[in-house]
Chain A
Amino acid sequence: GENVEQHPSTLSVQEGDSAVIKCTYSDSASNYFPWYKQELGKRPQLIIDIRSNVGEKKDQRIAVTLNKTAKHFSLHITETQPEDSAVYFCAASRFSGGYNKLIFGAGTRLAVHP
């Protein structure tokens, strides 16, 4: 079945450094790739997403890149701040008609140290 692998499982950076999280997916028909942030004790929330017809998308300090040939996509956070500390999940889905099954990676725990 569909599978999404995410690395690293934990990431520790100093405030101001950049952080990169990488994911690979197995279903070549996947066409939607969101990233979610889950703060401690809270529900996951969407921070950025990208569709298969776009190679890169940026929103202030966060950016996502997609390589469809290699079936991998990455989250880049620049100028990290302590409030970026959270668990980040990548996901992939293939939406077609009424079908949109969202499969998540195992998550990356990011710690940003002041």
Chain B
Amino acid sequence: DVKVTQSSRYLVKRTGEKVFLECVQDMDHENMFWYRQDPGLGLRLIYFSYDVKMKEKGDIPEGYSVSREKKERFSLILESASTNQTSMYLCASNLPRGTEAFFGQGTRLTVV
């Protein structure tokens, strides 16, 4: 059974804090993604990684950074959390040849 696991299901942080969201996949996938899901806006791509230490900005990278030191782990970092970053964050992974993307269970982040 394939698995993409996000470190937290729910998270509450204070404005200005540095926040780390972790994602681990056990399928040896090259590609990993971080999306943000907001009502009416769908799944918006924050960052994308196609190999270890390789990353590319998505549509809404401002206020975020990422780290991929190992193939199985992709971290999303909020350098200084703000209330407008309150959202559901979804991690996903897939192979590079245009195949099914598998999603994590999501992290609902609230910034107060």
| A26 interface hit (Cβ, 8 Å) | no
Q: How many A-B residue pairs have CB under 8 A?
A: 64
A89–B96 touching, CB < 8 Å: no
Interface residues of B in 84-112 (CB under 8 A from A): 90, 92, 94-98, 100-101, 103-106
Interface size in chain B (residues, C-beta < 8 A): 29
- Tell me how far the C-beta of B61 lies from the nearest C-beta in chain A, rounded to whole angstroms: 11
- Tell me how far the C-beta of B53 lies from the nearest C-beta in chain A, rounded to whole angstroms: 13
Docked CA distance A103–B56 (Å): 13
Docked CA distance A105–B42 (Å): 6
**CB contact under 8 A between A106 and B41, given known A43-B103, A43-B105, A99-B50:** yes
Among all A-B residue pairs, the 6 with the closest Cβ atoms: A32-B98, A106-B42, A95-B98, A104-B43, A43-B103, A107-B42
B residues apposed to A, CB below 8 Å? 30-31, 33, 35, 40-45, 48, 50-51, 56, 58-59, 90, 92, 94-98, 100-101, 103-106
